[in-house]
Amino acid sequence: MPKLHRYLLSELAQSTFAALVVLLIVSVGGVITDVLKDIASGRLPAGLMFSQLGLVLLNWLPLILPLALLLGMMLGVGRLYRDSEMPVITAAGIGPRQLLRPVLALVLPVVAVVAVCSLWLGPMAERVSRAMIADANRNLVVSGLEPGSFTELPGGGGVVYTGAMSADGSEFSRIFIYRQAEGRQDITTARGGRLEVEDSGARYLRLHEGFQVEGPIEDGLDYRLMRYAANEVRLPAGEVRHDPTDPRVMPTTALLGDPRRAAVAQLHFRLAPPLLALAFGLLAVPLARTTPRQARWGGTVIGVLGYLVCISLAQMGERWIASARIAPGLGLWWLVLPLLALAAWMYLGDGAMRRPRMARRAEAAR
């Protein structure tokens, strides 16, 4: 590779990496907010916080990487124009066609990574995430309940104490539960019990041989005492049971032979990110072209808005395919192919000199 190509590749790769780091930091903040919300509502055990952060972020990579590539290349090429390096390169007779090699040397590996994340790693992360949550909701140890200590239930559901617990976290003994609701308090004790989870995701503590006292929190004598042989206490609901036939968690190879519209829609939605990354990688070069007196961030704003519009159309197209508003054969090709054609046309025509109007008229007159 010529020295100029290595220099351009280095500049573009550094700016793309910097853009990716910034986008990942911003994305981590959003992922942490969503995960903490699920933990507070009781749908996600607190012990799975960090593993879920990594899996969710891995599932977001097909949407983050194309934007990082677009911003990084636009920043890198824009710096070359701002420092007058690109005009010198153009004056030396090196145009878009000659620069295609260093551009593709960066774009194609990123497209390959996006394809791997979209077609394989993302669905795998979704499957692992749901399986971990489904298993954790059946295990009180992972949910944060430890023998010999008081534990607050997620979502403010109450306080639980248990004296002993089985190794798998499904059975316990000597339990104490304190709850408050609508100005009244409820205290429940039991010799033992077990955790049971329904298909809907509802979790119950099946208690046996205990007492339940219910009364006002403030002053009053309206207390009720009950001795029971069997009782049930509902815990905050966890995630719905893991469904391996959900197209969002199915491997891409399994979607190829699935005739369901939801599966076809999910397949097209997974194929779109790498093609969009290729299109935005080519569009970044002409969009980054600036003149000395031109606004610096105008092309960047247009590129980001174009990315947001395309991602929104891809998500809408997935819903349209699933709801039979678009033919399955059409898929998302109506979005991807025109964008690729536009990117190739703008890249190859970038910097081309137009002939004067008088010359065109003279040639037409002949």
Chain segment 9-21, per-residue pLDDT in tens: 888 999 999 999 9
Q: Give me the sheet containing 184-197, strands edge to edge.
A: 150-152, 159-165, 171-181, 184-197, 203-216, 224-235
Does the residue 220 lie in any domain?
yes
Of 207, 235, 263, the one marking the end of a domain is 235
Does the residue 143 lie in any domain?
no
Do 120 and 22 lie in one domain? The reply is yes
Does the residue 142 lie in any domain?
no
Instruction: Kindly state the tokens that stand for 188.
Output: 């429940």
Of 180, 204, 235, the one marking the end of a domain is 235
Do 217 and 280 lie in one domain? The reply is no
Do 266 and 216 lie in one domain? The reply is no
Say if residue 155's pLDDT is above 60: no
Do 21 and 101 lie in one domain? The reply is yes
pLDDT at 307: 94
Do 326 and 304 lie in one domain? The reply is yes
Do 230 and 284 lie in one domain? The reply is no
Does the residue 307 lie in any domain?
yes
Does the residue 110 lie in any domain?
yes
Instruction: Kindly state the tokens that stand for 23.
Output: 């986008």
Do 179 and 300 lie in one domain? The reply is no
Does the residue 362 lie in any domain?
no
pLDDT-above-90 percentage for the chain: 27
Q: What is the pLDDT of residues 299-349, one digit of tens each?
A: 888 889 999 999 999 999 999 999 988 888 888 999 999 999 999 998 888
Do 26 and 129 lie in one domain? The reply is yes
pLDDT at 142: 47
Amino acid at 289: R
Average pLDDT score over the chain: 82
Residue among 126, 147, 143 at smallest CA distance from 62:
126
Do 338 and 195 lie in one domain? The reply is no
Phi, psi of 32 (to 5 degrees): -60, -40
Do 11 and 113 lie in one domain? The reply is yes
Do 103 and 251 lie in one domain? The reply is yes
- Distance, in Å, from the CA atom of 248 to the CA atom of 186, rounded to the nearest integer, reads 41
- Within 199-254, strands assigned E span 203-216, 224-235
Do 231 and 248 lie in one domain? The reply is no
Alpha helix segments (H runs only) across the chain: 3-40, 49-82, 85-91, 96-116, 122-136, 252-256, 261-287, 298-322, 333-348, 357-365
Our count of domains for the chain comes to: 2
Pair 137, 45: CB distance under 8 Å: yes
The three-class DSSP label of residue 304 is helix
pTM above 0.85, yes or no: no
- Distance, in Å, from the CA atom of 349 to the CA atom of 347, rounded to the nearest integer, reads 5
**Residue 212 domain boundaries:** 150-235
pLDDT-above-70 percentage for the chain: 83
Task: Please state whether beta strands 171-181 and 184-197 pair in parallel, antiparallel, or not at all (unpaired).
Answer: antiparallel
Q: How confident is the model at residue 248 (pLDDT cuts 50, 70, 90)?
A: confident
- Distance, in Å, from the CA atom of 82 to the CA atom of 87, rounded to the nearest integer, reads 10
Angle between helices 49-82 and 298-322 (to 10 degrees): 140
- Distance, in Å, from the CA atom of 99 to the CA atom of 288, rounded to the nearest integer, reads 14
Does the residue 120 lie in any domain?
yes
Does the residue 356 lie in any domain?
no
Which of 105-119, 126-140, 236-250, 311-325 has the least mean pLDDT? 236-250
- What are the residues whose beta carbons fall under 8 Å from the beta carbon of 102, sequence distance 6 or more? 1, 5, 6, 8, 9, 12
- Distance, in Å, from the CA atom of 73 to the CA atom of 209, rounded to the nearest integer, reads 68
Of 190, 217, 235, the one marking the end of a domain is 235
Paired with 212 in beta bridges are 188, 226
pLDDT at 115: 95
Task: Please state whether beta strands 150-152 and 224-235 pair in parallel, antiparallel, or not at all (unpaired).
Answer: unpaired
